[in-house]
A and B are shown apart, each in its own frame.
Chain A
Amino acid sequence: MISTGSRHRKYTILPLTRVEGHGKVTIHMNGEGEVEQARLHIVEFRGFERFILGRPYWEIPVIVQRLCGICPVSHHLAAAKAMDRIVGGEHLTPTAEKIRRLMHYGQIFQSHALHFFHLSSPDFLFGTDGTAASAFEAPAEQRNILAVAARYPQLAVQGVMMRRYGQEIIRATAGKKIHGTGAVPGGVNKNLSLSERDVLLKEAERMLEWARGALRLARDFTMDHLAELIPFGSFDSNHLSLVRESDGALDLYDGVLRAVDKDGRKLVDDVNCQRYLEVVREEVRPWSYMKFPFLRELGPEQGWYRVGPLARMNTCSFIGTPEADAAHREFMELNQGRPNNVTMCYHWARMIELLHSIEAIRDLLDDPDLQGDDLVVSGPRREEAVGLLEAPRGTLFHHYRVNRNDEVTMCNLIVSTTSNNEPMNRAVTKVAKDHFTGRKEIPEGLLNHIEVAIRAYDPCLSCATHAVGGMPLAVELRDASGALVDRRVRDAV
């Protein structure tokens, strides 16, 4: 929708499509047709941090995972890690730790497959195959998984089957594909039976092969369109993630905090998760329900950072599985070993993690510890604890206080999309400035550019405000007086 005032215009994209959650984008243009400002607004509100107060602590890993239907395991495990410490059971048995890791890798595998194949692949496959005027401008009716299935059936089947495989792992370890109960304070409630293991093992090699293919697709797409992709929604930034404590390897389940700047200088390193508040703070802005986290030492202006697959490639020293490690080295060569700040490289990084996940799954399935019976440990109680892990979309922070009656009295959640709030706003602004400046009207195809930039981050908008509802998005154009000039709205699919 476009609204016009005296000289200024404001575009609204509502709803944003093919992302999780409900959001809109507003683009303000001045009388000279220049983009002055672009903002991503998250219009949902959830309030999980408030309504779990007063509940018993052992319920929390099962309640908070209801924040999301795409990566509930991340919330389930982050909360469980915090509750491990509450019950003094942070040193899990090998069986418990490995079952949880398997669950988490299954989650990463299915979520990355979903994002790449179902949500983003239409942009790559149709925007650049010659059917559209330029990248990401394929007709709207083509930009969905059904069109992918019609034109590239083999690829669509692989996407669906990879997601299914990840969900089967979650079911085997958590009891259900979505919103299971597997992780309990101090451990897990089940091991992996030999029959469950055999079913998963049978398909592991095929999944590995398909993950290699998905990585090739993402890498080739990036390399073939490098000139176009490098500036697309890109900017220099800091990057933050967990890395393995001993050697800085990529570790999606546990580790210490590390942050690097755009050139790879370490801003934060080897920080224990329990001390996250010493390095991260959150800023509130009046126009969004989402907060804006930043590195405390640098302040809100300079300290904002990116999380997720791209950030993890930039922070980790290496990857502990051979094929993903080779892919990581190739990825880092793009910027001569320094951090890669290209927004569209999120997809390539995501597929490296997809490969890493299935390599880790295959190795874990051979481990006899998964059939162990020692499932839960406990020790001296604590009243406060933090649980962090690397969710598919980035670092996830869960922080709780629990009183002597077992009642939760404080909760703070910083989800990945919240950390990527400032970067997504910058990506939207960059795309709007590069592509909209000087235009009197914005065609629908161009609006997809905005969404492509947002989709690179694979945001979970509803998670980020902790919200209720479906997932539509809108773009608004306003004039200098704030009057609505134009507004484009799309309903949830």
Chain B
Amino acid sequence: MKTVTFTIDGKIVRADKGQTILKAAEAAGIYIPRLCACKDLVPHGSCRVCSVRVNGRIQASCVQTAAEGAIVESETDELREYRRNIIDMLFVEGNHFCMFCEKSGFCELQALAYRFGITAPKYRLLYPKRDIDLSHPEVYLDHNRCILCGRCVRASQDLDRKNVFQFVERGCRKRLQVNGEALSDTDLRAADQAVSACPVGALMRKRVGYAVPVGRRPYDEVPIGRDIEKKGEE
């Protein structure tokens, strides 16, 4: 397999030809923050949290393939601020109440907020009126927490070989729609990869709740991305 060589923040990185910048960085122990990107899923490039500068132009690193000799900037003040603003906006355009959300400590959005030092909303909270769908016997869908990352849409289609989720409408009206009147009309199962793909508390298995005590949840002690960074230090 042919390889290409490029740099991320001055560090030389080798990638397989056709590999995305995000994947190549990960293999090299460099963490680029991301939300809509997920292992085993086709990249989507929608959340823009993984944006980097490639030869001076801003690109989503989850969809941009690594090119020979490319100069990639990731951990710059400008890009950190850019990513931070995206995370801030994701918080205010939904209803994210971390204090009682059962995804707390597991939530990638919350973990990113901690990593970026976000302790309070920067923008005005929009408090949209959204529904919660508890009709399904095993899984529930809380639209208040959905960040429209599309992971469930892709996982349902590509991994589960179902078509439970789709996006409808556009722009600020865009929302997640299930294939039926309610979640109970679909063939979704708790074990489906679509459920575990959700990075936030939108799509959750029922009756799990707060089974893992505070202090033992994945992001209680270790910041998101630290596992990747550790590989780079070895």
Residues of B within 8 A of A185 (CB): 209
Partner of B100, one of A62, A175, A184: A62
B212 near A56 with CB under 8 A, answer no
- Whether B134 is near chain A, meaning CB under 8 Å from some CB there, is yes
Residues of A within 8 A of B99 (CB): 66, 179
Given known pairs A179-B99, A181-B214, the reply for A59 and B209 (CB within 8 Å) is yes
Residues of B within 8 A of A55 (CB): 132
B-facing mask of A70-107, CB < 8 A → 1, else 0?
00000000000000000100000000000000000000
Partner of A190, one of B100, B134, B213: B213
A-facing mask of B200-218, CB < 8 A → 1, else 0?
0000001111111111100
A-facing mask of B30-64, CB < 8 A → 1, else 0?
00000000000000000000000000000000000
Residues of A within 8 A of B215 (CB): 175
- Whether A165 is near chain B, meaning CB under 8 Å from some CB there, is no
A:175-211 near B, CB below 8 Å: 175-176, 179-182, 184-185, 189-190
B211 near A189 with CB under 8 A, answer yes
Given known pairs A62-B100, A185-B209, A406-B206, the reply for A56 and B214 (CB within 8 Å) is no
Q: Name the residue of chain B whose CB is nearest to the CB of A173.
A: B213
B213 near A59 with CB under 8 A, answer no
> What distance in Å separates the Cβ of A398 from its nearest Cβ neighbour in chain B?
16
> What distance in Å separates the Cβ of B199 from its nearest Cβ neighbour in chain A?
19
- Whether B135 is near chain A, meaning CB under 8 Å from some CB there, is yes
**How large, as a class, is the contact surface on chain B?**
10 to 19
Residues of A within 8 A of B140 (CB): 56, 406
- Whether B160 is near chain A, meaning CB under 8 Å from some CB there, is no
> What distance in Å separates the Cβ of B148 from its nearest Cβ neighbour in chain A?
22
B102 near A182 with CB under 8 A, answer no
A-facing mask of B70-114, CB < 8 A → 1, else 0?
000000000000000000000000000001101000000000000
Residues of A within 8 A of B213 (CB): 175, 181-182, 189-190
Residues of A within 8 A of B209 (CB): 58-59, 184-185
Residues of B within 8 A of A63 (CB): 100
- For the complex, what is the distance from the CA of A182 to the CA of B100, rounded to whole Å? 13
Residues of B within 8 A of A174 (CB): 214
A62 near B132 with CB under 8 A, answer no
- For the complex, what is the distance from the CA of A176 to the CA of B104, rounded to whole Å? 13
- For the complex, what is the distance from the CA of A120 to the CA of B150, rounded to whole Å? 56
A54 near B210 with CB under 8 A, answer no
B134 near A56 with CB under 8 A, answer yes
A:296-352 near B, CB below 8 Å: none
Q: Name the residue of chain A whose CB is nearest to the CB of B132.
A: A54
- Whether A405 is near chain B, meaning CB under 8 Å from some CB there, is yes
B:176-217 near A, CB below 8 Å: 206-216
A62 near B210 with CB under 8 A, answer yes
Residues of B within 8 A of A36 (CB): none
- For the complex, what is the distance from the CA of A377 to the CA of B32, rounded to whole Å? 43
Q: Name the residue of chain B whose CB is nearest to the CB of A54.
A: B132
- For the complex, what is the distance from the CA of A406 to the CA of B206, rounded to whole Å? 9
Residues of A within 8 A of B214 (CB): 174-176, 180-181
Given known pairs A54-B132, A59-B102, the reply for A189 and B210 (CB within 8 Å) is yes
Given known pairs A56-B140, A179-B99, the reply for A405 and B207 (CB within 8 Å) is no
> What distance in Å separates the Cβ of B17 from its nearest Cβ neighbour in chain A?
48
- For the complex, what is the distance from the CA of A221 to the CA of B207, rounded to whole Å? 51
- For the complex, what is the distance from the CA of A175 to the CA of B220, rounded to whole Å? 11
- Whether A245 is near chain B, meaning CB under 8 Å from some CB there, is no
- Whether A369 is near chain B, meaning CB under 8 Å from some CB there, is no
> What distance in Å separates the Cβ of A177 from its nearest Cβ neighbour in chain B?
10
Q: Name the residue of chain A whose CB is nearest to the CB of B134.
A: A405
- For the complex, what is the distance from the CA of A56 to the CA of B206, rounded to whole Å? 8
Residues of B within 8 A of A54 (CB): 132, 134
Q: Name the residue of chain A whose CB is nearest to the CB of B135.
A: A405
- Whether A374 is near chain B, meaning CB under 8 Å from some CB there, is no
- For the complex, what is the distance from the CA of A182 to the CA of B102, rounded to whole Å? 12
Partner of A189, one of B135, B206, B207, B212: B212
B134 near A184 with CB under 8 A, answer no
Q: Name the residue of chain A whose CB is nearest to the CB of B211.
A: A189
Residues of A within 8 A of B102 (CB): 58-59, 62
Q: Name the residue of chain B whose CB is nearest to the CB of A180.
A: B214
Given known pairs A59-B100, A66-B99, A406-B134, the reply for A184 and B206 (CB within 8 Å) is no
A-facing mask of B131-151, CB < 8 A → 1, else 0?
010110000100000000000
- For the complex, what is the distance from the CA of A122 to the CA of B211, rounded to whole Å? 43
- For the complex, what is the distance from the CA of A189 to the CA of B99, rounded to whole Å? 17
Chain B residues within 8 Å of A, Cβ to Cβ: 99-100, 102, 132, 134-135, 140, 206-216
15 new A-B pairs (CB below 8 Å) besides A62-B210, A181-B213, A184-B211?
A54-B132, A54-B134, A56-B140, A58-B102, A58-B209, A58-B210, A59-B102, A62-B100, A174-B214, A175-B214, A179-B99, A180-B214, A189-B211, A190-B216, A406-B207
A-B contact pairs, 24 of them (CB 8 A): A54-B132, A56-B140, A56-B206, A58-B209, A58-B210, A62-B102, A62-B210, A66-B100, A175-B213, A175-B214, A176-B214, A179-B99, A181-B210, A182-B213, A184-B211, A189-B210, A189-B211, A189-B212, A189-B213, A405-B134, A405-B135, A406-B140, A406-B207, A407-B134
